[in-house]
């Protein structure tokens, strides 16, 4: 488990093992993330994080053989990083078996960083070169049998501790005209509510503004919907937590994603924190989209 004291996570491992998905999951968990950071900058970056007045509280980086100096400089950089005990750094190493890596490179049609079109040869070279780095890792993960979604759940479990800890619930507002979020587990369509877009003085505002909220709340359907959807989520969220789910995304959509869906997401956020053992997060995907 990545404890709350862990403020600096380093992700490395074999090409195709899922490092990019790992860093995206860490970003969703509140880490400031940098992919393909040169090893020479680890000391500078961690020093910035260690400052008492730093605006960045937790950070994660991916470092690997894309940096030509990786093998020559990484061990010394890691030793220095581990001397900064206040950061409680953690090194995660990702790997997968050869068939899984070959399949992934075939699916993405990308060349291997070491072998180019000779994927198998590149995999073998990289595995040998990274053996010592693997020995330095705090945790090693074999992602051979994991899908992209499985890998994301793995890192959420690392952060939140699985079913016995908080369930991370994201209330995600969006506009249907920009597409339905693929990550949604539940979808609420609020296009039946009064649309502030057709009120000239409200059109340029968003669902975070008091005038828009007051306009939408005038409708009886708004109160009924918020009451019923809150009751539904109060029932469903503990059930998902008991099932072992560590991350739940509730998509809330209106036409453009600026007014109604934003307002509903904000109102649900105010109603739901009373539910025990959930960590609540609101994200407005299309609030700035015309």
* pLDDT for the residue 219: 95
* pLDDT for the residue 183: 83
- One domain for residues 169 and 152: no
Domain end residue (candidates: 160, 183, 206): 160
State the residue for tokens 């503004």: 209
- One domain for residues 19 and 119: yes
Q: Give the residue from 53, 71, 59 showing the smallest Cα distance to 35.
A: 59
Q: Is residue 104 part of a domain?
A: yes
Beta-carbon neighbour count of residue 222 at 10 Å? Answer: 21
- One domain for residues 156 and 168: no
- One domain for residues 176 and 133: no
- One domain for residues 150 and 169: no
Domain end residue (candidates: 125, 160, 195): 160
Domain end residue (candidates: 132, 160, 188): 160
Q: Is residue 179 part of a domain?
A: yes
* pLDDT for the residue 229: 96
- One domain for residues 138 and 227: no
Take residue 255 and report the two structure tokens written for it: 């036409």
* pLDDT for the residue 277: 67
- One domain for residues 85 and 123: yes
| Domains of the chain: total | 2
Q: Is residue 36 part of a domain?
A: yes
Q: Is residue 289 part of a domain?
A: no
Q: Is residue 1 part of a domain?
A: no
Q: Is residue 35 part of a domain?
A: yes
Distance separating alpha carbons of residues 197 and 136, to the nearest angstrom = 56
Q: What angle do CA 115, 117, 123 make, to 5 degrees?
A: 40
* pLDDT for the residue 1: 53
pLDDT values of the chain reduced to their tens digit, one per residue, 290 residues: 565 677 899 999 999 999 988 888 888 778 899 999 999 999 999 999 888 888 888 899 999 999 999 999 999 999 999 998 889 999 999 999 999 899 888 887 778 888 667 888 889 999 999 999 999 999 899 988 887 767 776 776 665 444 345 678 999 999 999 999 888 999 999 999 999 999 999 999 999 999 999 999 999 999 999 999 999 999 999 888 777 677 789 999 999 999 999 999 999 999 887 666 678 889 999 998 76
Q: Is residue 290 part of a domain?
A: no
- One domain for residues 196 and 261: yes
* pLDDT for the residue 12: 96
* pLDDT for the residue 51: 87
- One domain for residues 21 and 86: yes
**pTM for the full model?**
0.57
* pLDDT for the residue 82: 93
Distance separating alpha carbons of residues 34 and 223, to the nearest angstrom = 42
CATH number at residue 122: 3.40.50.300
* pLDDT for the residue 166: 64
Please give the residue range of the domain that contains residue 190: 164-284
- One domain for residues 23 and 43: yes
Q: In the chain, which ranges are continuous DSSP H helix?
A: 19-28, 42-50, 70-82, 98-108, 119-129, 131-136, 148-160, 200-203, 210-217, 220-242, 260-271
- One domain for residues 60 and 170: no
- One domain for residues 17 and 136: yes
């Amino acid at each position: 488990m990545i404890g709350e004291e862990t403020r600096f996570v380093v992700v490395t491992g074999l090409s195709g093992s899922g490092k990019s998905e790992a860093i995206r999951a860490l970003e969703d968990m509140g880490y400031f993330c940098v992919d393909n950071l040169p090893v020479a900058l680890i000391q500078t970056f961690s020093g910035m994080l260690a400052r008492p007045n730093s605006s960045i509280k937790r950070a994660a980086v991916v470092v690997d053989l894309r940096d030509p100096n990786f093998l020559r400089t990484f061990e010394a950089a890691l030793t220095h990083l581990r001397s900064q005990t206040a950061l409680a750094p953690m090194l995660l190493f990702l790997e997968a078996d050869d068939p899984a890596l070959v399949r992934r490179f075939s699916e993405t049609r990308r060349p291997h960083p070491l072998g180019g079109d000779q994927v198998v040869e590149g995999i073998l070279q990289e595995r040998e070169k990274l053996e010592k780095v693997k020995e330095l890792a705090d945790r090693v993960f074999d992602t051979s049998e994991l899908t992209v979604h499985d890998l994301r759940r793995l890192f959420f479990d690392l952060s939140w501790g699985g079913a016995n800890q908080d369930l991370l619930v994201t209330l995600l507002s969006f506009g249907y005209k920009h597409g339905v979020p693929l990550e949604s587990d539940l979808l609420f369509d609020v296009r039946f509510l009064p649309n502030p877009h057709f009120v000239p003085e409200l059109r340029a505002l968003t669902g975070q503004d008091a005038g828009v909220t007051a306009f939408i709340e005038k409708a009886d359907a708004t109160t009924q919907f918020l009451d019923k959807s809150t009751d539904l989520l109060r029932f469903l969220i503990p059930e998902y937590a008991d099932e072992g789910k560590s991350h739940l995304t509730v998509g809330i959509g209106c036409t453009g994603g600026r007014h109604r869906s934003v307002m509903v997401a904000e109102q649900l956020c105010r109603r739901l924190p009373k539910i025990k053992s959930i960590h609540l997060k609101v994200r407005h995907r299309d609030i700035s989209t015309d």
